[in-house]
Structure 1
């Protein structure tokens, strides 16, 4: 299908969401890819991952870019040739990108029971505010997505979700909270926004200085 959703959280930032319903061949048709991207697709064993990769290129096109405008640094962080910030995510049948003139991170995750099993790997401070009367899986998925979004913003890699990133108290109905990266020389606060997209949780982190 075409573009599923566009979100404009502020005048500096646009988020594009794609629902991946097309076949690999349909997504490939007319799509110009760099040799690096062609090699990456060939190395992927899962067609679902291949379709996710291609759907991101369609999102780039929706935003006015092409595959050649995207490159990665040594830590695997994506960049655009015009200097704007970009963050990329895909999970099962959804993909999304966030493009901004300032720091931005994005994540989309399917709401799954499995997250209860791995929560000890990323929940620390947040244990004190998880609400029993709220959707437990969604709460955990927001926390994971928020930490993943902040991890993507941090340019140097190596953060631990449990010890280096904190998320403030929230309820699912709030649709927003605050997150913190707390490491040496990078003690910053970010606005966190989250939405339910069918059975997925979309989370993005924004520099509060640009949230207008």
Structure 2
């Protein structure tokens, strides 16, 4: 059973990771799915997406929940039956969930050159000055994860990554930063923690 590890974000917030080594059939046989989840699974054309979806259910079972304890609201945000907050992400060989007593948003991204190439579309590239290429890829991936995580928390139509979400200057070695969302004449700030997980970057955002 490839439960990979957990990371404690704070006293009431923990992230959990599943390394996907199984095929779809093995994962499917290991989980119990409600009808709506089964329908959603069958509608997925990509086997990788199916594995990511099922690995999330494996994590839930590992933590004492089941698919029946998870629901989604009208904008697709996940909720747990016991009232705890949950955020979900998966990328290639890993799925991740974060469960907390407070609102959280997470993102898991694989380190790849493509993120650096499209960086001008979603961030201020001045944040990458003076870094080696590998560090530029890592930092651009963190910043993408920051914006994805905040968007998962807010999930409002019209939010633009480059225009509305900005990160304050930070060093990769610190593993923390702060970010702001300026949208609809409101300013919200978020505390960010980020971690390397194999060839991935994991980001967790918590509203201040």
Give TM-score, length-normalised by structure 1: 0.91
Structure-2 separation of matches of 1:180 and 1:192: 10
Counterpart secondary structure, 1:162: helix
CA contact 1:193–1:205 (8 Å) conserved in 2 = yes
Quote how far apart the aligned CAs of 1:157 are: 4.0
Q: CA deviation at 1:186?
A: 4.6
Residue 54 of structure 2 aligns with which residue? Answer: 54
Sort the Cα spacing of 1:53 and 1:194 in 2 relative to 1 into closer, same or farther, 3 A.
same
Distance in 1, matches of 2:11 and 2:148, equals 23
Give me the whole-angstrom Cα distance separating, in 1, the residues matched to 2:153 and 2:9. Answer: 17
**Is the contact made by 2:2 and 2:20 (CA closer than 8 Å) also made in structure 1?**
no
The alignment status of 1:178 with 2:178, answered yes or no, reads yes
Q: Which shifted more, 199-208 or 32-41?
A: 199-208
Compare the two structures and name the one with the higher helix fraction.
2
Describe the SS at the equivalent of 1:163.
helix
Maintained 8 Å contact 1:151/1:157:
no
Task: Name the SS for the 2:30 alignment partner.
Answer: coil
Provide the residue aligned with 2:74 in structure 1.
74
In the other structure, the counterpart of 2:98 is 98
Alignment of 1:1-212 (within 5 A): 1-124=1-124, 127-134=125-132, 135-184=135-184, 186-208=186-208
Q: How many residues align?
A: 206
**Contact 2:2 2:21 (C-alpha < 8 Å) held by counterparts:** no
Structure 2 unaligned regions, length at least 5: none
Query: Offset at 1:155?
Result: 4.5
State the distance in 2 between where 1:71 and 1:156 align.
19
TM-score of the aligned structures, taking structure 2 as reference length: 0.93
Tell me how far 1:130 sits from its aligned partner: 2.1
Structure 1: distance between partners of 2:30 and 2:137: 39
Cα deviation per residue 1:120-173 (whole Å; 9 max; x = unaligned)? 22113xx33324225010010000001100000114343111111111111211
Can you give the 5+ residue segments of structure 1 that lack an aligned partner in the other structure? none
Tell me whether 94-103 or 199-208 shows the greater mean CA deviation: 199-208
Contact 1:90 1:108 in 2 (8 A): yes
CA distance in 2, matches of 1:80, 1:156: 21
Q: Is contact 1:131–1:171 with CA below 8 Å preserved after alignment?
A: no
Contact 2:30 2:58 in 1 (8 A): no
Question: Residue 207 of structure 1: CA displacement?
Answer: 3.3
CA-CA distance at 1:190 after TM superposition: 1.2
